[in-house]
C-alpha cells in the first residue's frame, strides 16, 4: 500500500506515513484507543470513519513523545498478536 507496516504473524498492528509522512497509525483495542486519545489528544486521534471506530488511531509524530508511542505500539502489538504470543513481550530498546 506504498507505506511501511508492522505485523505480528501477518496481522498489521502499526503503519507509518499514511496519509502522509507526519503520521503513524496504531490499531488498538477500543479501551486502549480511548485511553491514549484522552491522555494525549494532540498526539493521538482516531482515524476518521469506519477504521477509527474499530481502533485505528493516528499518531501525530511531531507531537508524540517516545515513551507514549512505545506504550501504544506495545498495546497495538498485544491486540494483534495471537493468544500464544500475547503472554510474551517484544524486546524493547530503552
- 19-74 pLDDT, tens per residue? 899 999 999 999 999 999 999 999 999 999 999 999 999 999 999 999 999 999 99
Distance CA 25, CA 63 (A): 14
Q: Can you give the residue ranges of every domain in the chain?
A: 5-86
Cell, residue 28? 488498538
pTM over 0.85: yes
Residue in 86, 67, 63, 78 with CA at minimum distance from that of residue 26: 78
DSSP annotation string for 26-69 = EE--HHHHHHHHHH-TTTEEEPSSHHHHTTEEEEETTT--HHHH
Q: Which three cell numbers stand for residue 19?
A: 496519509
Amino acid at each position: 500500500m506504498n507505506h511501511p507496516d508492522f505485523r505480528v504473524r501477518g496481522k498489521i498492528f502499526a503503519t507509518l506515513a499514511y496519509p502522509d509522512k507526519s503520521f503513524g497509525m496504531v490499531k488498538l483495542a477500543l479501551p486502549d484507543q480511548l485511553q491514549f486519545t484522552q491522555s494525549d489528544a494532540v498526539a493521538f486521534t482516531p482515524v476518521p470513519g469506519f477504521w477509527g471506530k474499530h481502533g485505528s488511531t493516528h499518531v501525530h509524530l511531531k507531537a508524540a513523545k517516545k515513551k507514549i508511542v512505545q506504550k501504544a505500539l506495545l498495546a497495538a502489538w498485544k491486540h494483534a498478536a495471537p493468544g500464544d504470543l500475547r503472554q510474551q513481550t517484544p524486546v524493547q530498546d530503552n
